[in-house]
Amino acid sequence: MGHTAASATVSTAIIIVKTIILVLGGLITYFSLKAYRRTDARPLGLLSLGFGIITFGAAVAGAIHMFLDITLAEGVLVDAVVTMLGLMVITYSLYAR
């Protein structure tokens, strides 16, 4: 398999995985937001925000790699930074009262 074929395979795999992340993350965000609205518990609101950030970041990072002129490594870095921010919010949600 040549370099171009391998790149196409990796790009296709990224699209598939990012789509699955978007669907699963969207569902988690939706259900946690629904629980927040039902209970009005601030930690659940923060939890849904954290998952929303992670899901949004995964989608945006995949899109900017595919449509903008950035390297795969730069796309991974964007994804990692947004994931870190989302996990920080989730961690805080577990300690919030």
Query: Per the structure, how many domains does the chain have?
Result: 1
**Polymer length of the chain:** 97
- Among 14-18, 33-37, 63-67, 69-73, the minimum mean pLDDT is found in 63-67
**Which residues make Cβ contacts (< 8 Å) with residue 51, sequence separation at least 6?**
25, 28, 29, 32, 86, 90
pLDDT (mean) for 34-52: 95
Average pLDDT over residues 39-66: 90
Q: What is the pTM of this model?
A: 0.82
